[in-house]
Amino acid sequence: MKKHKPNKITAGDVILTVLVVIASFASMVLIARATAGGKGSTAVIEVNTKKVLRIELSADQPEKTYTVRGMLGPSTVEVEKGRARMLTSTCRDKICVGTGWVDAPGKEIVCLPNRVVIRITGERKPGRVDTVTE
């Protein structure tokens, strides 16, 4: 009887690895498409609970920045390709800047010290997963 060496890589191992990588990549692409801003999405910017700006979002939107005056000073909002982010803020911790891009209805960026909120509104895609927890 021939003994199998456990540390030898076989052709089956390589094929399985390639299939897993392809499936992972395909899953990432599908999730990215499913979570992109839906038709008619809007970025609503509020300062101290008052709406100060509404920006229509679209996938072919060029990059543009907007400056709003918060309670501590100016905050810069960047909008492009159907998504928005807080580019700069006068707050101390910059958690709002670190949040990154938001592009799906119901998502938001909040800067508590400066009292600036960026909220994405619009229709949610049917069957779309909002949050997954374990």
23-63 confidence digits (pLDDT tens):
998 888 777 666 554 556 899 999 999 999 999 998 888 99
Instruction: Please say if the pLDDT value at position 17 is more than 60.
Output: yes
What mean pLDDT do residues 4-8 have?
A: 70
Q: Which two tokens stand for residue 72?
A: 């501590």
Mean pLDDT (the chain, rounded): 86
In terms of Cα–Cα distance, which of 119, 105, 126, 109 is closest to 40? 105
How many C-alpha atoms does 104 have within 13 Å on its Cβ side? 15
Q: For the chain, which domains are there? A: 42-121 (2.60.320.10)
Instruction: Please say if the pLDDT value at position 128 is more than 80.
Output: no
Contacts of 94-100 spanning 24+ positions with Cβ under 8 A: none
* pLDDT number for residue 50: 95
Look at the pTM and tell me if it is higher than 0.85: no
